[in-house]
Structure 1
Amino acid sequence: MSDDGKARKPQRDLVTPRFWLGCDAWAWLRLMLQGRFQFDNGYRHMVGVLTPVSIGHSVFKILQNLIYGQAIKNTRLREDPIFIIGHWRTGTTLLHEFMILDPQHNFPTTHQCMDPNHFLLTGSIMKRWFKWMIGDIRPMDQMAVSWDRPQEDEFALCMMGQPSPYLQIAFPNNEEIDPEAYDLTNLTPRQRTHWKAALLNFLKTISLRDSRRLVLKSPAHSCRIPTLLEMFPKAKFVHIVRNPYDVFPSTMHLWTTISRQHGFQTPCNPGLKERVFKRFIHLYKRLDETKSLIPSGQYHELRYEELIASPIEQMRKIYDTLSLDGFENLVPRLKTYLQQNASYSTNQYKLHPEDAHDIGVHWKEVIDRYGYSQQGIARHKAG
């Protein structure tokens, strides 16, 4: 929907870039099947664009496996990853940006996540010739983007045909797609095995040429702690939380903006508000049930507001809790980053009184747990 409540007309040009341009043939077929082929009229031409592109990705995937497959298989992660978790729009991206300033850390790039099937083989060509495919800023929050900046590994799983709730972006007007992929417990044993193999193969492919410790960021991983610990027993987790009265409107804006830009339907987003309320509750319930599985010294929790107010001190606490070395190498880089981005400001949203009331009712447990009650009331009265 546009700001005036009217549905926008779809963009009809053949070259409008979408996440899904990185799908291999299986991933593209699975995406269409999950969406029940319900393309709006103005987007059906994308089937003709993406189908041959996906076949091309599959061909290059085979070639990469022939050339690098054994080397990838033999690659071992030097250290288990650091996972940044938390609900969407809680500051996970900012924290990820801070963590990867440390020169001892590696991370999945936007190019690797959007083209996970053959980036070793074609990376330099793709980044050189297809730079036009991404803009300079993210549409939902104006943060900088480029092929070499950090990205969520969840997108790589999508492009490789794995179950993911992000497939909903393509068909925003449909019923919820792949809800079982949030915590993986309701996947079939075969699906779960394939999901784990796909993630591990992706991380090993990244590490083949850069063995530094990986720092990964995906809100959906907040629900997957048991599986991630099975795969990486020494993984470390950093959970960031933010005022729910800020998270709600920002999350609504995220999904409406991203589905408008990367979907195959003119989004009217039926039931979006209910899904946002539901998934928030599910994420924190699942996190609360499973974070006790994380061994001592491998989990740290912080508030977004504290990170913004005192970034160096909060990063020091993360390094101390997780026993990470090299904080002294991070500090000068973090100071430079903060100076360069001093003019950046987050989006401001006017919260509707009805939404403020619903947030206070549906998310009360989380609001109280993290001490946001009075902030929320004050913000509601101010709006």
Structure 2
Amino acid sequence: MAGTRFRQVTREALGNILREVKIAAKPTPKPEKWVFLVGCYNSGTTLLSELMGRHPSISALPTEGHFITDQFLKDYDLGIPRMWVDREDIFCLNENDEGPDVARIKKEWGMRLDLKKPVLVEKSPPNAARTRWFQKHFENAHFIGIVRNGYAVAEGISRKGDPKSIKDGWPIDKSAWQWARSNQIMLDDAQKLNNFHMIRYEDLASSPQDELNKIASFLGLEAFPDLSTQNFAIHERNDSVKDMNASSIKKLSEADIAQINETAGFMLDRLGYSRLPG
């Protein structure tokens, strides 16, 4: 038993050494633009990243960037999956914060990116609270914020609560607050960003080519190739781009809707989403 444990520790130590060697040898990415996709959980950041990664000038990380670096604490590790607003003191960073090791983050991300491409894309929902910090430390940083109907998002966050941490999912009021507060921080901080472009999930789902070409214009790139006939693997579902709001909202009870209105009504109003009766 002790021998097995020793071999396991030795393998882990060797793996850590090899990782450090790889990071040290990796060149620091120097793209024309760093692009950060930000928005609340369940708002379409994964879909948007997958779509943008089809552009010939763009390389997008294959998963959320905060999972690829050891410089950011993860919501899952803290027992608050999809609920970073419970610890704003940890997740929020601005230009006055020293924060983590910038060079290391770039190298860790660079190991998973095609550095021949001029535009490098990262997406992590908690980064909605770090845009001002990224603007200071990442050259020519551009930000694309995506928002989605709060009823659908709150339902999704509640339903997808990690059973290891949240046995029956998050209460709907907490999920609604995660949506409202994360968007509030993102939109307020966007006023201090040099390059910020906002889209709606609903517009992306209904007219993906048009929305992507607006993004291309924002980034100074040629138009996207025709993606109308392509399917995309999003959260284990391989399908064309579709608006999934109706199926999510259908799962909400009247009490759920009333709670969302009470908790997040101010953000529904700010973003122009009609309140449902409840």
Within a 5 Å distance, the mapping from 1:182-221 to structure 2 comes to 182-184=91-93, 189=98, 192-194=99-101, 196-206=102-112, 210-221=116-127
Percent identical pairs in the alignment equals: 21
8 Å CA contact retained: 2:85, 2:178: no
Tell me what 1:166 maps to. Answer: 76
Identify if the C-alpha distance between structure 1 residues 292 and 279 changes in structure 2 by more than 3 Å, giving closer, same or farther.
Answer: same
8 Å CA contact retained: 2:37, 2:123: yes
Q: Which amino acid aligns with 2:201?
A: Y
Structure number with bigger Rg = 1
Tell me what 2:178 maps to. Answer: 279
Q: Which amino acid aligns with 1:219?
A: P
Identify if the C-alpha distance between structure 1 residues 204 and 247 changes in structure 2 by more than 3 Å, giving closer, same or farther.
Answer: same
Tell me what 1:113 maps to. Answer: none
Deviation at 1:152, TM superposition (A): 0.7
Mapped partners of 1:53, 1:179: distance in 2 = 36
Matched, 1:268 2:167: yes
Matched, 1:371 2:264: no
Mapped partners of 1:213, 1:316: distance in 2 = 15
8 Å CA contact retained: 1:167, 1:177: no
Q: Secondary structure at the match of 2:100?
A: helix
Q: CA offsets, 1:205-249, max 9 Å, x none?
A: 345754442111111111111101011252111111111111111
Q: Which amino acid aligns with 1:100?
A: G
TM-score of the superposed pair, with normalisation by structure 1: 0.59
**1:103 aligned to 27, 52, 56, which one?**
56
- Once the two structures are overlaid, the 10-residue window that deviates more, 221-230 or 365-374, is 365-374
Tell me what 1:154 maps to. Answer: 66
Tell me what 2:235 maps to. Answer: none
Q: Which amino acid aligns with 2:220?
A: L
Q: Secondary structure at the match of 2:267?
A: helix
Tell me what 2:222 maps to. Answer: 326
TM-score of the superposed pair, with normalisation by structure 2: 0.79
Matched, 1:341 2:239: yes
Q: CA offsets, 1:327-346, max 9 Å, x none?
A: 1xx232x1232598349784
Tell me what 1:78 maps to. Answer: 31
8 Å CA contact retained: 1:238, 1:299: yes
8 Å CA contact retained: 1:237, 1:300: yes
Measured on the aligned residues, the alpha-carbon RMSD in Å equals 3.4
Tell me what 1:244 maps to. Answer: 150
Structure 1: stretches of 5+ with no match in the other structure: 1-46, 109-149
**2:254 aligned to 348, 353, 358, which one?**
353
Matched, 1:64 2:22: yes
Mapped partners of 2:243, 2:182: distance in 1 = 27
User: What is the aligned residue count?
Assistant: 263
Tell me what 1:88 maps to. Answer: 41
8 Å CA contact retained: 1:106, 1:214: yes
Q: Identify the structure with the greater helix proportion.
A: 1
Q: CA offsets, 1:111-131, max 9 Å, x none?
A: xxxxxxxxxxxxxxxxxxxxx
Q: Secondary structure at the match of 2:63?
A: coil
